[in-house]
A and B are shown apart, each in its own frame.
Chain A
Amino acid sequence: MTSTQVAPPPAGTSGTSPVVSVRGLRKSYGGRAVLDGLDLDVRRGECFALLGPNGAGKTTTIEVLEGVRRRDAGEVRVLGEDPATAGRAWRARIGVVSQDESAGQALSVREALDHFAAYTSTPRPTDELLAAVGLQEQAGVRVGRLSGGQRRRLAVALGVQGRPELVFLDEPTTGMDPVARRQFWQLVRDLRAGGTTVLLTTHYLEEAAELADRVGVVAGGRLVDVAPPEEIGGQLRRRSTVRWREDGDWRQVSTEAPALVLRDLLAATPHEVPGLSVTRPSLEDVYLSLVGATPGGEQR
């Protein structure tokens, strides 16, 4: 694949200034708050995953950032501009792979890519795009005949056609089989390798862990935690559970110092401790307690 027109970031946009900056974002539908004071920063070049259950407000957040959904309150900056008022020059710098992608069923893959090239002044060549997403063999196939996974790949090709600096991926692998999902992850990694900033939403933990530099957990319309995937949950993560049987009953202790608990337990028990185990919470456990532990954070 050729790499054309790679320019260093212009002065002032590099380094620490965030690509996306959100403060106190609020949005209600019919009196029901979907976003309730969400804060978010995405740095240039990183892959940030918004992780949360269905209905947590991920898609609404992305739509506000894309400038297609009005917000009730809050300050939003994407690539230095307010998406609600930004113009076509700004649009040219972002790419979107949306949930309900439809490029026109009657067109072939190549026709769709050739057509949408007319909307940007910096289109990537169609053949390059086809190769990048692995759709060379489907180039002549009508979009309506593609499999779900192939259609998502076309959506990615369309999303990056104009060489965007920032790409939004809204639940990109929902409904994909495991093979297609892994292929898709590789696409996102390739995208990152080219310097594109990626903001993706997902309700799959392993996807966030696999792709993201940082994960933001959304629950109840707020960001309840932000950290690299291996550190998400912080204190929750460090708590271990020591479990054993005593007089036929299960006993368990949740602690940040399992060694101390064990030493006391072993000292107090001269013989074998039945059923003894020490477990650290999985990412999933942490995620579930983050999502469930939020005040007012019932699933919606």
Chain B
Amino acid sequence: MTAVLTGTRPAPPSAARIALARVRLELTVFARERQLVVFTFAYPVLMMVIFSAILGGDERPGDIPFPQYFLAGIAATGIMLISFQAVGTTIAAEREAGLLARLQLLGTPPAAYFAGKVGQVLVALAAQLALLLPVARYGYDVPMPVDLAHWLTFGWVAVLGALAGTVLGIAVSALPGSASSVTTGISALALVLQFFSGVFFGFLELPGWMQQLAALFPLKWLTQGMRSAFLPEQAGAFEVAGGWEHGRTVLVLGAWVIIGLVVCARTFRWRRAEG
């Protein structure tokens, strides 16, 4: 084997170039993880089908048919699963398999690795919603956002929620323990948050302490933001604060992005902790 290079070398590739390669790789690997793909795309649709079959005749505060109320919640849940849960568990597994050790040895900028995850999440999310929304629209007569402004709301809530979820997924992947124990912890947290945040039940039906606890976490705000895109304007009166609270939603989700970034910067490791 020849061609060792001992003269002057060109500078290493930019973080942006590596990030692009990462996005392509993450999407390839994701597409080949059959179980993950099926779960990611089927879960929201299945939930829609099951819960509408059970509670389809119910109405939520403000005479909102159940499927309409539920679409907002299940869209928010899908975003959390595809960002927070999938990212957190795959990073823990990648670290355990030694994939991250290789990236470290290659001098990969962590930002390029993170960017790869974000890119993969956004593409997978677009595909997930492109499947869920028609099912809700044509299967359950759920009206889509009424105008461009509501579509824009839908867009920024989804992207901000996915960003917060991805960053927090990267952050929790640093939890100690094996990949499978990290996976269990993340899944349990995600499940509890779904119940606390008004995904399955009307948020106002939850006990007060649960509402207050949920308000600390992003999923409640993500769900509320989604309701503001899908439900009629007057339904806002039935929120805890009597309105959609877009400003506060941006603030809380944005704060979680920043908190997540700080935690990542301080705790992200390419390898498992020293023995």
Q: A residues engaging B (CB < 8 A)?
A: 1-10, 13, 29, 66, 68-69, 87-89, 91-93, 96, 98, 100-107, 111, 115-116, 118-122, 124, 132, 158, 160, 162-165, 187, 190-191, 193-196
Contact = CB atoms under 8 A, between A and B. Distances in A.
A193 B1 CA distance: 7
B247 interface: no
B18 A93 contact: no
Contact of B6 (A8, A116, A190): A8
Contacts of A104: 25, 29, 99
Given A124-B3, A165-B4, A195-B2, 11 more contacts: A2-B2, A3-B3, A5-B5, A6-B4, A7-B6, A10-B6, A91-B105, A100-B101, A116-B106, A162-B106, A191-B1
A111 B28 contact: yes
The 9 A-B pairs at the shortest CB distance, nearest first, are namely A7-B7, A91-B107, A118-B21, A194-B2, A88-B107, A3-B2, A163-B5, A190-B1, A106-B32
A135 to B, nearest CB: 13
Interface of B: 1-13, 17-18, 20-21, 24-25, 28-29, 32-33, 97-99, 101-102, 104-109, 270-271, 274-275
8 contacts: A1-B1, A3-B2, A7-B5, A7-B7, A29-B275, A89-B12, A115-B24, A119-B18
A98 B98 contact: yes
Contacts of A3: 2-3
A89 B9 contact: yes
Contact of A122 (B10, B21, B101): B10
Given A104-B99, A194-B3, A10 B8 contact: yes
Given A10-B6, A104-B29, A107-B29, A194 B1 contact: yes
A163 B2 CA distance: 9
Contacts of B97: 102, 105
A119 B2 contact: no
Contacts of A118: 13, 17-18, 20-21
Given A66-B105, A101-B98, A88 B28 contact: no
A184 to B, nearest CB: 12
A6 B105 contact: no
A3 B10 CA distance: 18
